[in-house]
Structure 1
Amino acid sequence: MNKIIALLGLLLALGLINWSIYVKEQHLIHGDIVKLKLAPVDPRSLMQGDYMALRFELSQAIYEALPKLESQTFWDSGLANLDGRVIVEIDTQGIARFVALDSGQALGDKQRKLQYRVRNGQVKFATNAFFFAEGSADIYDAAQYGKFRVNQQGEVLLTGMLDKALFPLGEQ
């Protein structure tokens, strides 16, 4: 009997894992493409090994729009961990521009909601790093935009990096 329960538990766990993979694959295939402009990062940590530290211009607009707590030291200490959505307008090139924080308002035709999170006083999307093959750091020196896939819930997945002409960098 214990073997049957263990086997059923294993099948359930494997089923849930595979379902999660399937959902992410569908997100990558069918999600809307949104491009976010990169913001400068401390050059000492820009390239370390086989990843690039990321920060996006949109993060600053969100940070400035967020309500501040009475104790600024509380906010900056990382104790204020928040999750939310921002409304962005997508231009003809697919680049997202800040509109407002989401408060349940209706979206315009060219608007999307993107999920963000605040951790340690910083606004982040999906990831704060882009990983690439060892030895290919030079390819990503020209990175100006992050390319994301966004689903209906606003969940963002980073799929690649783009140069200033929105040309894909590296293997896509």
Structure 2
Amino acid sequence: MNKIIALVALIAVLGIVNASIIGKENHLAEGQVVYLELAPVDPRSLMQGDYMALNFRVAQQVYEALPKSEEYRGWNRNAEAGDGYVVVTLDEKKIGTFQRLDNSTPLADNETRLRYRVRNGEVKFATNAFFFQEGHAQAYEAARYGQFRVAEDGELLLAAMFNETLERIQPANQE
């Protein structure tokens, strides 16, 4: 009897995991393309091992627009924690620029909502790191934009990194 329960539980878990994977794959294939500019970072900390720490200019602008607690003292990034939406304006290249925090007003044709999260005083969009194959760090030093796929509910998935002319960074295979 215990073996049957364990087998049913395993099948249920695998079903849930596979459904999640299929959902993310559909999100990547069908989501609206939006490019977010990377914020300047200390070049010494840009590459750390086999990943790149990410920060986006829009995230900094969202942070500045968020209400701060009374204890806020400048460097103590103490924005009120929580999740929310920001409205970005998309140019002809689909580069998103901060417009406003979402206030539920209808969007213009060139606007879209993006979901953000505030964790530990930092505004996050989907991820704060981009992982790549060992030995490819030099290729990603040219990264200036992250390409996101945005679902109808504003949820983002990071799809790829792009340079300043919006060319996808695809390192040559090094063997």
In the other structure, the counterpart of 1:76 is 76
**CA–CA distance in structure 2, aligned partners of residues 4 and 49 of structure 1:** 44
Contact 2:68 2:79 in 1 (8 A): no
How many residues end up aligned between the 2 structures?
Answer: 170
What's the offset of the Cα at 1:76? 3.2
Q: TM-score, normalised by structure 2?
A: 0.90
Q: RMSD over aligned Cα, in angstroms?
A: 1.7
Question: What is the identity, as a one-letter code, of the residue corresponding to 1:28?
Answer: L
Q: TM-score, normalised by structure 1?
A: 0.92
* Deviations, residues 128-166 of structure 1 (Å, cap 9, x unaligned): 111111111111111111111110111111111111110
Q: How does 1:75-114 map to 2 (within 5 A)?
A: 76=76, 80-114=80-114
Q: Could you say what secondary structure the match of 1:8 adopts?
A: helix
What's the offset of the Cα at 1:10? 1.6
In the other structure, the counterpart of 1:32 is 32
In the other structure, the counterpart of 2:157 is 157
2:54 corresponds to 1:48: no
State, as a whole percentage, how many aligned pairs show the same letter: 54
**CA–CA distance in structure 2, aligned partners of residues 154 and 76 of structure 1:** 29
Any stretches of 5+ residues in structure 2 without a counterpart?
Answer: none
2:125 corresponds to 1:125: yes
Q: Could you say what secondary structure the match of 2:108 adopts?
A: coil
**CA–CA distance in structure 2, aligned partners of residues 119 and 105 of structure 1:** 26
**CA–CA distance in structure 2, aligned partners of residues 163 and 77 of structure 1:** 29
Contact 1:144 1:163 in 2 (8 A): yes
Any stretches of 5+ residues in structure 1 without a counterpart?
Answer: none
Question: What is the identity, as a one-letter code, of the residue corresponding to 1:33?
Answer: V
**CA–CA distance in structure 1, aligned partners of residues 123 and 79 of structure 2:** 13
**CA–CA distance in structure 2, aligned partners of residues 118 and 42 of structure 1:** 22
**CA–CA distance in structure 2, aligned partners of residues 10 and 49 of structure 1:** 35
